[in-house]
């Protein structure tokens, strides 16, 4: 049961989060060590699951990132054009 919970949490966090509010979880050193041990033990079965999830969402994530970059560049261009004096635009 713990392994299933761990895999679920790992899968949800593997490719990044789309939430705007960051999750702040503080683990003790013992908890970190336990998670590290579990990951080492189950890495062979975890990796294909995480890789397949990342591959399945890759195109969508690239599209979102590209749209964001284009939007920022358009905003930057608009700011720069607004700084040009009116008599030089003609």
Look at residue 52 and tell me if it is in a domain: yes
Look at residue 61 and tell me if it is in a domain: yes
pLDDT at 1 over 60: no
pLDDT at 75 over 80: yes
- At 11 the pLDDT is 62
Look at residue 34 and tell me if it is in a domain: no
Domain hosting 50: range is 45-85
Look at residue 23 and tell me if it is in a domain: no
For residue 63, name the pLDDT band (cuts at 50, 70, 90).
Answer: very high
Look at residue 16 and tell me if it is in a domain: no
Intra-chain end-to-end CA distance of the chain, in Å: 70
Look at residue 25 and tell me if it is in a domain: no
The CB-based long-range contact list for 43-52 (8 Å cut-off, 24+ gap) reads 46/7, 46/10, 49/7, 49/11, 50/10, 50/11, 50/14, 50/15
Tens digit of each residue's pLDDT (9 = 90 or more) over 10-29: 666 655 555 566 778 888 99
| Main-chain phi, psi angles of 17, to 5 degrees | -115, 145
Give me the number of domains the chain comprises.
1
- At 25 the pLDDT is 84
- At 77 the pLDDT is 94
Look at residue 38 and tell me if it is in a domain: no
Look at residue 79 and tell me if it is in a domain: yes
């Amino acid at each position: 049961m713990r392994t299933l919970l761990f895999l679920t949490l790992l899968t949800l966090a593997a490719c990044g989060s789309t939430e705007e509010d960051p999750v702040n979880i503080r683990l003790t050193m013992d908890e970190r060590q336990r998670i590290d041990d579990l990951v080492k033990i189950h890495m062979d079965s975890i990796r294909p699951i995480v890789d397949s999830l990342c591959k399945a969402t890759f195109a969508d994530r690239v599209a979102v990132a590209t749209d964001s970059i284009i939007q920022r560049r358009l905003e930057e261009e608009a700011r720069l054009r607004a700084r040009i004096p009116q008599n030089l635009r003609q």
